[in-house]
């Protein structure tokens, strides 16, 4: 796995040496302290490394690969589309893949989300969502409603507008404090999907809305699961109350379903746990089943009508966004195939199967010395360690044990493909247990 590994060809040694010296990886040094691990190919829930090692994939490439890698139906749709038209500008032109995809999104997402904006990545989908919210209030002659309210421990992306609503402590606020827009942060929702809560969390948020709603355009939140900001689960009732408060105080609700969208929590969209429709919703990661980058921002007709009305000096009456690769047909074709594969699969049964297996195998790890918490929801398993420096060792030991994990901070977590075989699922959890046992005992 490193250039010194005996099974690595000279060709790969040379590639990885170049990589280390010249190519940035996510949140990495240049040159990197340790070289990245070469991947030769993928298939289903198996990743084959450059040295021939096969790993059972515990990460789905950061939530994305819902049905495993190289899904034949998604690949076929992409092959067909690439011969017809891989790309065409979206300004003034349209095409069947964008229309067919948008039909599905309008039909499947919570009732009322009828307008679709197609972009290239999750962060940009959130940028568009924020822009929609700000333009909404300009159109209503309330340009002072130009701040956001969010909760702590959130994650919404790496661009400047989205960084400003990521958790102020584990995000990048101190690094960019001078230039990030100052928003309002309510305490994070209390941990726990099934808990009886005293509602202190939502009451603090209410107090902030009461005080500042004249300056607040929207609340942004990840429904039910806070992902990269801490892998925390919270109760549906919080979301339900939040929807009511947004209505009461005249503030839009932006639900970021980039990680949770398309089934991961056990519902098609996490908002369904609370039976709510947000005013704006973002999708990304999971949209093409991990085959190619695509994201979307959906909005209600109230949002789109308002933005398009009341044209004046301040207000152009147009949504002011239009990326070059908007609505890319190749990505849309992959997304259509992904959604059709999902809807024609027993995905609820699969999620339940994974949830039951994680409950049986991962929750008991709570008792291990060095483990602070273990939690499971849908096809997501999280083990929170007491120490925050063991991630690299867990990753390396995992590879020795034949599984791919990418912990961050204290969090060792896994969200496999929905259709992972029972034997690969068992290998994933038994080797994860074994890996933690060895790393923590050291
Ligand atoms: C990953 C993620 C994003 C950012 O998406 P990118 O495609 O990485 O820009 C935003 N919100 C949530 C909840 C995410 O998980």
**Would you kindly state where each structural domain of the chain is located, as residue ranges?**
37-67+346-441, 73-343
pLDDT at 241 over 80: yes
Instruction: Share the mean pLDDT of the chain.
Output: 96
Q: Are 412 and 383 in contact (CB under 8 A)?
A: yes
The verdict on the CB of residue 222 being under 6 Å from ligand 1 is yes
Choosing from 120, 167, 201, 256, the catalytic residue is 256
> Hey, do 37-67+346-441 and 73-343 end up sharing a CATH topology, with the first three levels equal?
no
pLDDT tens readout for residues 248-293:
999 999 999 999 999 999 999 999 999 999 999 999 999 999 999 9
Ligand 1, atom 10, lies closest to the CA of 156
What local confidence, expressed as pLDDT, does residue 178 receive?
87
Kindly give the distance from the C-alpha atom of residue 241 to the centroid of ligand 1, in angstroms, as a whole number: 25
Point out the ligand 1 atom lying closest to the alpha carbon of residue 293. 7
What pLDDT does 253 receive? 99
- 42 C-alpha to center of ligand 1: Å? 23
Q: Is residue 256 annotated as part of the catalytic site, yes or no?
A: yes
Cα atoms in the 13 Å half-sphere on the side-chain side of 440: 21
**CA–CA dist 41, 54 (Å, integer):** 10
CA of 252 to the centre of ligand 1 (A): 20
Pocket of ligand 1 contains residue 280 by CB under 6 Å: no
pLDDT at residue 78 above 60?
yes
Instruction: Give per-residue pLDDT as tens, 137-181.
Output: 999 999 999 999 999 999 999 999 999 999 998 878 888 988 999
With the most atoms of ligand 1 within 8 angstroms of its CB, the residue from 129, 171, 258, 278 to mutate is 258
- Specify the pLDDT at position 2: 46
73-343 has which CATH code? 3.40.640.10
Question: For residue 271, what are its two tokens?
Answer: 């908002």
| Mean pLDDT calculated for residue range 345-361 | 98
The one catalytic residue in 57, 69, 120, 155 is 155
- pLDDT over 90 percentage in the chain: 94
| pLDDT on residue 5 | 60
pLDDT surpasses 80 at 429? yes
Q: Is 122 in the pocket of ligand 1 (CB under 6 A)?
A: yes
Q: Is 126 in the pocket of ligand 1 (CB under 6 A)?
A: yes
Task: Decide if pLDDT at 395 tops 70.
Answer: yes
Residue nearest to atom 11 of ligand 1 (CA): 156
- Burial per residue of 351-373, b for 16 or more beta-carbon CB atoms within 10 angstroms, e otherwise: bebbbebbeebbeebeebeebeb
**Predicted model pTM:** 0.97
pLDDT category, 1, cuts 50, 70, 90? very low
| 3-class secondary-structure state, position 238 | helix
Give the pair of three-digit tokens for residue 78: 């992409």
CATH topology of domain 37-67+346-441: 3.90.1150
d(CA 217, CA 307): 13
């Amino acid at each position: 796995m490193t250039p010194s590994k005996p099974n690595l060809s000279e060709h790969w040694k040379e590639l990885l040496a170049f990589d280390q010296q010249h190519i940035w990886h996510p949140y990495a040094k240049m040159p990197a302290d340790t070289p990245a691990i070469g991947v030769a190919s993928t298939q289903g829930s198996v990743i084959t490394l450059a040295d021939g090692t096969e790993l059972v994939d515990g990460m789905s490439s950061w939530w994305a690969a819902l049905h495993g890698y190289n899904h034949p139906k998604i690949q076929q749709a992409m092959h067909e589309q690439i011969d017809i038209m891989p790309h065409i500008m979206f300004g003034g032109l349209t095409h069947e893949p964008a229309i067919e995809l948008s039909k599905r999104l309008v039909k499947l997402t919570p009732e009322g989300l009828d307008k679709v904006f197609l972009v290239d990545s999750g962060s940009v989908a959130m940028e568009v969502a924020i822009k929609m919210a700000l333009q909404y209030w300009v159109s209503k002659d309330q340009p002072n409603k130009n701040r956001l309210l969010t909760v702590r421990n959130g994650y919404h992306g790496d661009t400047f507008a989205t960084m400003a609503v990521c958790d102020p402590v584990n995000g990048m606020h101190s690094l960019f404090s001078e230039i990030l827009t100052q928003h309002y942060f309510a305490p994070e929702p209390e941990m726990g999907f099934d808990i009886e809560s005293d509602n202190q969390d939502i009451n603090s948020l209410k107090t902030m809305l009461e005080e500042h709603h004249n300056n607040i355009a929207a609340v942004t939140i990840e429904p039910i699961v806070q992902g990269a900001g801490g892998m925390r689960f919270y109760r549906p009732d919080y979301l339900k109350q939040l929807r009511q408060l947004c209505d009461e105080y005249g503030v839009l609700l932006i639900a970021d379903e980039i990680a949770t969208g398309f089934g991961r929590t056990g519902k098609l969209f996490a908002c369904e746990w609370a039976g709510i429709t947000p005013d704006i919703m973002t999708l990304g990661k999971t949209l093409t089943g991990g085959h190619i980058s695509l994201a979307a921002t959906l909005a209600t007709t109230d949002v789109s009508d308002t933005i398009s009305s009341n044209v004046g000096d301040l207000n152009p009456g147009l949504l002011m966004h239009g990326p070059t690769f908007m609505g890319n047909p190749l990505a849309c074709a992959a997304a259509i195939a992904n959604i059709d594969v999902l809807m024609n699969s027993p995905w609820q049964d699969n999620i339940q199967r994974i949830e039951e297996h994680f409950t049986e195998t991962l929750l008991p790890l709570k008792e291990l010395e060095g483990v602070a918490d273990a939690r499971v929801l849908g096809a997501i398993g999280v083990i929170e360690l007491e120490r925050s420096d063991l991630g690299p060792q867990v990753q390396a030991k995992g590879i020795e044990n034949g599984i791919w994990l990418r912990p961050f901070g204290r969090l060792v977590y896994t969200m496999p493909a929905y259709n992972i075989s029972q034997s690969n699922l068992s290998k994933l959890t038994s080797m994860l247990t074994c890996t933690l046992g060895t790393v923590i005992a050291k």
